Amino acid sequence: MTKLVFWHGWGMSPAVWTDLIGELKSRLPGDTRYDAMPLPGYAGTPLPEGEPVSVWVDAMMENVSGPVVLCGWSMGAIMALSAAHRYPEKVAALVLFGATPCFAERPDWDQCVSSLSEDAFRKGVQTGPDTTLRRFVTLFNRPDRNARAIVRQLASLEIPPAVVLEAGLDFLAAADFRAIVPEIRQKTLLVHGATDPLMPSGAAGWLAKALPDARLHLLPGVAHAPFLSDPRQCSQLIGKFLNG
């Protein structure tokens, strides 16, 4: 029996996985299990004390009984890299959408969107989280061929409290897992939008080269949410990956 665990992105919700899981249920064996988990502070879950980059993965993995196929998107994908490294006995394989090993700009890293790390964006989260999140969703979907439908879908999600969003920004600002990536031995499927404006495709290319066992699929006409833009194709890729 295979168990797939799903971690969503910053400002989102476990509900983002509904369409993909529906496609997977029609493709994978009937005894496959699916668990779309809320990140810390989301969907009424507690926000752990301490620095997010240090404690969030541990808090999530407490509720994971492995081995599982860990599927992450955006911030959830970044967390999944850390989880695979720290809990190899629980993580059998990785499926990462819109992934990067390092979100924020560094002197030796430019595969990022620096404006999301600036004080103005954080201030927007503090003073007007609803408006800021809508703009964020529009930004990372704008180049997608199905942008309108995706934005409409994501705009209906429950918005987490500002304190949770701010903690997520703390995680993203601190997370830099480039040093551990070559030590992640699990086989990994990278699915990335070719027009992703949030996590440039160069970040996925870096991961594909640095991970010991990874395959990368760049989807043309797709932005930062491949599994929302084309859940059927993504389910096909996952099915082939798990059976390969």
**Is 192 one of the catalytic residues?**
no
**Is 119 one of the catalytic residues?**
no
Tokens at 183, concatenated = 């030590």
CA 132, distance to chain mean position in Å, is 19
**Is 74 one of the catalytic residues?**
yes
Rounded to whole angstroms, the maximal C-alpha distance in the chain is 48
Tokens at 27, concatenated = 């493709």
- Which of 74, 82, 229, 235 is flagged as catalytic? 74
CB 12 within 8 A of CB 157: yes
Got the DSSP string for 228-240?
A: HH-HHHHHHHHHH
- Which of 8, 85, 192, 224 is flagged as catalytic? 224
- Which of 82, 196, 229, 235 is flagged as catalytic? 196
Tell me which residues are annotated as active site: 74, 196, 224
